[in-house]
A = this chain, B = another copy of it.
Amino acid sequence: MKPPAPRRRVTIVDVARHAQVSTTAVSKVLRNAYGASPEMRAKVRRAIDELGYRPHAGARGLRGQTYTIGVMLPDIRNPFFPEVLDGITQALEDTEYQVLLGPGCNGEKAEARVTEAMIDRGMDGLILVAPVSSRTRLEHVASAVPTVVVGRHGSSPGYDAVVNDDIEGASLVVGHLAGLGHRRIAHIEHHETDPTRLAEMPNARRADGYRQAMRALGLAEWIDVVSTSYTQEGGYRGAKELLERPQRPTAVFAGADVVAMGVLDAVAEAGLSVPDDISVAGYDNTTFAAFGLISLTSVDQAGHEIGRNAARLVLERITDRHTPSVQVSLAPTLVPRRTTARPPE
């Protein structure tokens, strides 16, 4: 059995003929542009409905816009990003813009491929979530198309930015733990060598925030940072190392929830219990953290708000490419759960 022959697409010419007007008129109605009488609009609208006409985005893009916003997500598996995405789509839901996602961006090469692909497809604006590419590269992208960078500290005149205040977030965790009576609070960070990224990436800021908060609370002597990676495996290795210390920490602040998962694993394996023997906190407030059996104390970044702001900014930037770039920083909140408690006597 054969699939039916593909039908010819209804074009603007069909609509114009059917409505007895010019294609220009139809185009104006489509774009709500100035210069079309109410009667004409009504006539055209009717023709559009009757024919089931849909404008061809690619063809529109050749002269005007494609009404498409590209979103690049680094890791679809990290449960924090869907939150941001929801914020973006919700903010764009009532506009004519359609969101399209670029998948699987692990590393600079993949990011370059995806951003290029989006530019080639004439996207009107880009939202890059937690990109790892160099600043130069980001500015290059931004010079081709309005761009908002999410989750990278350090601003650029070339693009707008939305970040979470990671220093503050780390401080919330340390403060919470110290308030419970902990002194030996350790931190597991994501290993970072690149000097640019050292300044701009959230992971580095969280480690910084941890150190600053420890000092501010007079706990400088207990500062203890293990460098692994923001993965479950990294958390597991980091915790292993911490548990072998002569003086074991009584609390571990993992730089991300996935890391905390690995920590919980290692702690259980060592025959210790959480939070009686050791407290554990994460960052991101992912679904994992909220899950009853785990109930991980974490920091909420308000991903939804981050997304909404990014969407708003990219729309503004599309409308006016020449206003100065802006940076939005959102305050995180602490979500205390059952993995943190008073330290053992």
Shortest C-beta distance, A272 to chain B (Å), equals 13
- In the bound complex, residues from chain B placing their C-beta under 8 Å from that of A114 are 98
Asked if A132 CB lies within 8 Å of chain B CBs, one says: no
Q: Count this chain's copies in the assembly.
A: 2
- The answer on a CB contact under 8 Å between A121 and B6 is no
Kindly report which residue of chain B lies nearest to residue A101, judged by CB atoms. B101
Asked if A116 CB lies within 8 Å of chain B CBs, one says: yes
- Give the contacting residue for A3; candidates B6, B265, B322; CB below 8 A: B322
Asked if A42 CB lies within 8 Å of chain B CBs, one says: no
Asked if A33 CB lies within 8 Å of chain B CBs, one says: no
Asked if A66 CB lies within 8 Å of chain B CBs, one says: yes
- In the bound complex, residues from chain B placing their C-beta under 8 Å from that of A264 are 293
- Give the contacting residue for A293; candidates B6, B85, B268; CB below 8 A: B268
With A2-B322, A4-B143, A66-B58 known as contacts, the answer to whether A99 contacts B89 (CB < 8 A) is no
Shortest C-beta distance, A143 to chain B (Å), equals 5
Most chain B C-beta atoms within 10 Å of own C-beta, residue among A71, A121, A324: A121
Asked if A226 CB lies within 8 Å of chain B CBs, one says: no
With A85-B103, A89-B103 known as contacts, the answer to whether A158 contacts B59 (CB < 8 A) is no
Q: Which of A19-27, A76-84, A202-210, A213-221 contacts B (4 or more CB under 8 A)?
A: A76-84
Q: Which of A49-57, A162-170, A174-182, A248-256 contacts B (4 or more CB under 8 A)?
A: A49-57
Q: Bits for A186-226, please: 1 = Cβ < 8 Å to B, else 0.
A: 00000000000000000000000000000000000000000
- In the bound complex, residues from chain B placing their C-beta under 8 Å from that of A287 are 77
With A56-B122, A59-B62 known as contacts, the answer to whether A292 contacts B321 (CB < 8 A) is no
- Expressed in whole angstroms, the Cα–Cα distance for A116 and B10 within the complex equals 14
18 contacts between A and B (CB under 8 A): A1-B324, A1-B325, A2-B322, A3-B159, A3-B325, A54-B119, A55-B120, A57-B117, A58-B59, A62-B62, A71-B103, A85-B103, A89-B103, A98-B117, A99-B102, A101-B101, A261-B293, A264-B293
Other CB < 8 Å A-B pairs besides A4-B158, A76-B85, A261-B293, 5 of them? A2-B324, A58-B66, A58-B121, A76-B82, A265-B291
